[in-house]
């Protein structure tokens, strides 16, 4: 993978995680405020304030960086909603196309599927070459093992003065 592609993959990866942190911290703020409301214990305001600060910081960075996460095919924004029509094969998580794209970018589990043009591509490094090299080594080892067994059987048959076929 080229240096530019590696930098792009890393940038998409950390922006996606920043988006996830943003939503998690917002959920924590709401949970802590609900606990304060239910229990009347103001000790829960400190964790709520910390989670709120994390939310604001991650939101500011996300708003600056998220327009840079673009589809390599159509150029549409992957982590922010657009007004154009979705592709017919676009999938959702909890009703959100951008959340699914964010999870895929953050985990590299499967290829990214653009919700607008439908293009499917892999941002991260392809493991095909490494996998192919390992499979080649395993195949060579199996062939060597088979040849060794064949040679052993040939020598044993020659000892008994029988032709080996």
CA 124 to centroid of chain Cα atoms:
8
pLDDT at 13 (0 to 100): 77
Residue that wins the pLDDT comparison between 85 and 133: 133
Residue that wins the pLDDT comparison between 31 and 5: 31
DSSP reduced 3-state for 122: coil
Of the pLDDT bands very low, low, confident and very high (cuts 50, 70, 90), residue 39 is very high
Domain positions in the chain: 3-121, 127-165
Residue that wins the pLDDT comparison between 67 and 87: 67
The CA distance from 22 to 14, in Å, is 12
The model's pTM: 0.59
User: Phi/psi of residue 148, each to 5°?
Assistant: -65, -45
Dihedral angle sign, alpha carbons of residues 46, 52, 53, 54: positive
In this structure, are residues 61 and 20 in contact, taking their beta carbons and an 8 Å threshold? no
DSSP run (H or E) holding 112: strand 112-113
131-155 pLDDT, tens digit each: 778 888 899 999 999 999 988 888 8
Look at 10-24, 40-54, 86-100, 122-136 and tell me which has the smallest mean pLDDT.
86-100
């Amino acid at each position: 993978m080229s240096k530019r592609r590696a930098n792009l993959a890393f940038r998409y990866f950390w922006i996606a995680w920043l988006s996830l942190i943003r939503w998690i911290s917002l959920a924590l703020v709401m949970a802590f405020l609900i606990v304060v409301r239910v229990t009347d214990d103001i000790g829960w305001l400190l964790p709520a304030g910390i989670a709120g600060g994390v939310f604001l910081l991650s939101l500011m960075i996300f708003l600056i960086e998220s327009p840079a996460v673009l589809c390599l095919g159509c150029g549409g924004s992957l982590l922010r909603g657009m007004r154009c029509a979705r592709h017919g094969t676009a999938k959702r998580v909890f009703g959100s196309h951008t959340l699914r794209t964010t999870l895929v970018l953050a985990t590299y589990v499967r290829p990214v599927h653009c919700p607008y043009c439908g293009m499917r591509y892999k941002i991260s490094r392809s493991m095909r070459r490494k996998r192919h090299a390992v499979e080649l080594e395993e195949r060579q080892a199996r062939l060597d093992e088979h040849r060794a067994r064949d040679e052993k059987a040939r020598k044993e048959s020659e000892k008994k003065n029988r032709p080996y076929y």
